[in-house]
Amino acid sequence: MAKKENPSSKELDEAKAAKQKLKAAEKAKASDGKKDKDEKAPKQKKARRFWKDFRGELKKIVWPDFKTVLKNTGIVLLTTVIIGVPVWILDYALSEGVLGLKNMAQATKAETTTAGLNLNLEDLLAQMTTAAGDVTQPAAEPTTEPAVELATEPVTEPVTEPTTEPAAEAEQ
């Protein structure tokens, strides 16, 4: 009879590793099969699973207590006021500054226009005195008669244009 040899510990370890690899491969195949089944599952089952997972995730959330919520709300409101007030002051100051510059520009424009009109009138007066002599004399009274007399009788003859030919004039 042949003697059975006792396997060494090295061989036993290799055999265990091989068995574990086979089991892992079988699990991977089984889980791949489940994934394929999930993909083929109806949409209703997928939606049900989604909401179940969603509720599970909501249970994991640690919600703050009421004191923490009040404290954080107060911090947010205080920060908003601390930042908002300087921004409001800066906005107000800049808008008033721009409005003041606009008013100043309009006042300067009005003064320039008035001064320009005064100069133009003085120049016009000087030109009139040199051209007409003494301007202080009163001007002739305007007449109410029309400058051109209008015909009061209707025209009975047809209006005809003169018939001169340019070629006939050129020959003479």
Mean pLDDT of 135-160: 59
Question: Between 144 and 109, whose confidence is greater?
Answer: 109
pLDDT at 166 over 70: no
Q: Tell whether 29 and 68 lie within a shared domain.
A: no
Q: Are 135 and 128 in contact (CB under 8 A)?
A: yes
104 & 118 share domain? yes
Domain count, the chain: 2
Q: Which residue has the higher pLDDT, 82 or 167?
A: 82
Residue 42 shares a structural domain with residue 68? no
Distance CA 38, CA 45 (A): 9
Q: Among 46, 25, 24, 47, which residue's Cα sits nearest to residue 35?
A: 46
User: Does 35 reside within a domain?
Assistant: yes
pLDDT at 111: 73
Residue-level pLDDT at 16: 80
Range of the domain at 80: 64-128
Task: Give a yes or no: residue 44 inside a domain.
Answer: yes
Are 117 and 83 members of one domain? yes
Structure-model confidence comparison of residues 37 and 10, the more confident one? 10
Q: Is residue 80 part of a domain?
A: yes
How many CA atoms are closer than 13 Å to the CA of 160, on its beta-carbon side? 5
What is the predicted pLDDT for the residue at 130? 73
User: Looking at the domain assignment, is residue 42 inside a domain?
Assistant: yes
Q: What confidence score (pLDDT) does residue 42 get?
A: 82
Residue 1: pLDDT band (50, 70, 90) is: very low
Using the 3D structure, point to which of 42, 61, 80 is the last residue of a domain: 61
pLDDT at 35 over 90: no
pLDDT at residue 137 tops 70: no
Q: Are residues 55 and 71 in the same domain?
A: no
Residue 154 lies in a domain: no
Alpha-carbon gap, residue 103 to 95, rounded angstroms? 12
pTM attached to this predicted model: 0.34
Residue 161 token pair: 């244009």
Whether 82 and 55 share a structural domain: no
Pairwise CA distance, residues 57 & 61, whole Å:
7
Residue 133 pLDDT > 50: yes
As a whole number, the mean pLDDT across the chain is 76
Q: Quick one: pLDDT at residue 60?
A: 93
